[in-house]
Amino acid sequence: DNQGWTAEFAIPFKSLSFDPTATSWGFNMGRSLRRFNEPIRWSNISNNVGYYDFSKSGYLSGLTGITQGLGLDVEVLGATTYKYEWDNPRQGDLRFEPSANAYYKITPSLQGTLTLNTDFSDAPLDTRQVNTGRFGLFIPETRDFFLQDASLFEFGGDALEGSANGRPFFTRNIGITNFGVADIRYGGKLSGSIGETNVAALMVQTAGIDGHVAEKTLGAARIAQPIFGRSQIGAIMTFGDPSDDDDNVLGGIDLQIRDNSLLGGRELNADFYFERSSNDGVEDDAYGFQIGSYQDDIAAWVSGKYIGQDFDPALGFVNRTGFKRINTGFRYRERPKDSDLSFWQVEVGQESRWLQNDHFDSRSMWISAGAVTKIGDEVFFSLSSDMEKIPGGFFLPDGIFVPDDTYHNWNASLHFGASAARWIAGNFNIDYGGIYGGDFFGLSGNIDIRPSPYFSFDARHNYQEFRLPNGSLRIHISSVAANINFSPDMTLTLQSEYDNISSGVGLSARYRWEFEPGHELFASIGHAANWEGRDFRSETTTGGLRIGGTFRF
């Protein structure tokens, strides 16, 4: 209207967990002024506190006479799917697959979930990656069923946050095996808190894959007990191997300390963890720590990690074993007054690794500097010096061999970013330096166009060039995505991805219409193909139509 805008939200009490006798709730709200790159919170405005931090919320008072109902939500879905294989012999498969999820609020702070024939048809395409190193790649979880309450399973705090290697529990291993996708027939989850103790448990039964792996029962449990304010001590356990018939279990304990009384009002973050895995009787350990203070003006940290040679959590993520690592860093940030800059900063750090036999393995030192304007434009420059010992040769894509040797390299990178406050934004990155006894050049960026609230478009490209003694390699990874918002209740999402190493093409279209709150129609089409030169060869086409709704009691 002529004074700005107003918004009204209607949130059913049946959709919330709460104590019906409580008359005051913790409450916070915020908004972002994109044209000024300015976030605003109703309570707890501080650059030292994350935007979604709820530790110092405000209060919503005067809540009386409200009821939650039975606290039972039942989601019923029916999906018709069609899969067509283009390889000879060409063949199609049409199926109707019902699925259901039930959510019951056992207490206001504890929820139980049951799932039957879990549906993942609305998951987006995985971000395409090409491996140019010795160790496996980490691909994040994108399935909503596992993302819900995922924070309650988090373990190790900042000591594991910065590196995926060594995670005791990684839900992507459930249903996605070394031999393909295994359907989840049924499962259960418990999440929330009992008193002040946070608890989370998950157990599922997956279908087998003919000729490779039998049906599997997989599970994980996590408990965390607050101590001394915002600090906590906890434990985790996992069991089952999704890709093998071996008996695999893991147990771990962790301690997370959050205290602002020991460093003159500055926050102290200290995290410690220990894990032990057992795979058919073969046991080994992993442990680590991180100690630091992360204020807006000054941040400093030191961290360490050890992963034993035989450490093998089948439901976790490990891409390298048999090493130990030390990492240290320092960052200074200044927010100048009466300036177009929001802040400028300088950061220095180093990381050293040793093999399990104490032989030195690698070292990296870096310095970076950058600035961010008040509207959100940014520029950063970094320079690094690296040393890496490769004990055994390995192959890059296209069969380029990297021999065992000790490699010393300098690398420089430059990053430009345009503020998301504009209708057209994006970023641009240049990398240049040495690698594996040769030269490396990288050029990547994306452009994000949002001309109206109804349409957005994002295009990305990553180019990498390796000029090595044994040959040259050029990698192109491209993706394009578009969102069309016909209304707040109706959206069409389009995605496409390609890389020249696998010559693989992925195409996806997902349409969602929530015709009334909690009830929706979802349709999807996916196509996988191989594109080499002028030869475009279709491999698999999938389509699905799903309708379902959530019924609250």
pLDDT in tens, 403-458: 999 999 999 999 999 998 888 999 999 999 999 999 999 999 999 999 988 999 99
How far, rounded to the nearest angstrom, does the alpha carbon of residue 261 sit from its chain's CA centroid? 32
Residue 17 has pLDDT above 90, yes or no: no
The one-letter code for the residue type at 362 is S
Measured between alpha carbons, how far is 88 from 197 in angstroms, rounded to an integer?
A: 56
Residue spans of alpha helices (H) in 393-507? none
According to DSSP, residue 317 is labeled B
According to DSSP, residue 454 is labeled T
Query: 230: pLDDT confidence band, cut at 50, 70 and 90?
Result: confident
Residue spans of alpha helices (H) in 371-427? none
Measured between alpha carbons, how far is 384 from 351 in angstroms, rounded to an integer?
A: 11
pLDDT for position 154: 93
pLDDT for position 54: 75
Residue 314 has pLDDT above 90, yes or no: yes
pLDDT for position 523: 96
pLDDT in tens, 327-380: 999 999 999 998 999 999 999 999 999 998 888 999 999 999 999 999 999 999
The one-letter code for the residue type at 189 is K
Measured between alpha carbons, how far is 220 from 316 in angstroms, rounded to an integer?
A: 10
Residue 67 has pLDDT above 90, yes or no: no
What's phi and psi for 15, nearest 5 deg?
A: -90, 0
The angle at the Cα of 106, spanning 102 to 107, to the nearest 5 degrees, equals 140
pLDDT for position 20: 81
The angle at the Cα of 305, spanning 48 to 287, to the nearest 5 degrees, equals 105
Own/partner contacts of 343-347, CB < 8 Å, gap of 24 or more, are: 343/371, 343/372, 344/369, 344/370, 344/371, 344/372, 345/369, 345/370, 345/371
Measured between alpha carbons, how far is 189 from 184 in angstroms, rounded to an integer?
A: 13
- Relative to beta strand 438-452, strand 400-402 is unpaired
Neighbours of 129 (CB within 10 A): 12
pLDDT for position 449: 96
Measured between alpha carbons, how far is 408 from 405 in angstroms, rounded to an integer?
A: 10
Query: 19: pLDDT confidence band, cut at 50, 70 and 90?
Result: confident
Q: What is the pTM of this model?
A: 0.87
Greatest C-alpha distance within the chain: 76
Neighbours of 357 (CB within 10 A): 7
Structure tokens at 119: 């549906």
Residue spans of alpha helices (H) in 107-215? 144-147, 158-161
Query: 71: pLDDT confidence band, cut at 50, 70 and 90?
Result: confident
pLDDT for position 256: 95
Q: How much is the average pLDDT of 110-126?
A: 90
The angle at the Cα of 353, spanning 349 to 354, to the nearest 5 degrees, equals 155
In the block, tokens 């320092």 appear at 330
The one-letter code for the residue type at 19 is D
Residue 8 has pLDDT above 90, yes or no: no
pLDDT for position 450: 93
Listing DSSP states for 318-371 in one string gives -S--SEEEEEEEEEEEE--SSSSEEEEEEEEEEEEEEETTS-EEEEEEEEEEEE
According to DSSP, residue 158 is labeled H
Measured between alpha carbons, how far is 111 from 238 in angstroms, rounded to an integer?
A: 20
Query: 272: pLDDT confidence band, cut at 50, 70 and 90?
Result: very high
Measured between alpha carbons, how far is 232 from 294 in angstroms, rounded to an integer?
A: 18
Of the two residues 344 and 38, the one the predictor is more confident about is 344
pLDDT for position 504: 94
According to DSSP, residue 190 is labeled E
- Asked if 179 and 209 touch (Cβ cutoff 8 Å), the reply is yes
The angle at the Cα of 124, spanning 550 to 492, to the nearest 5 degrees, equals 70
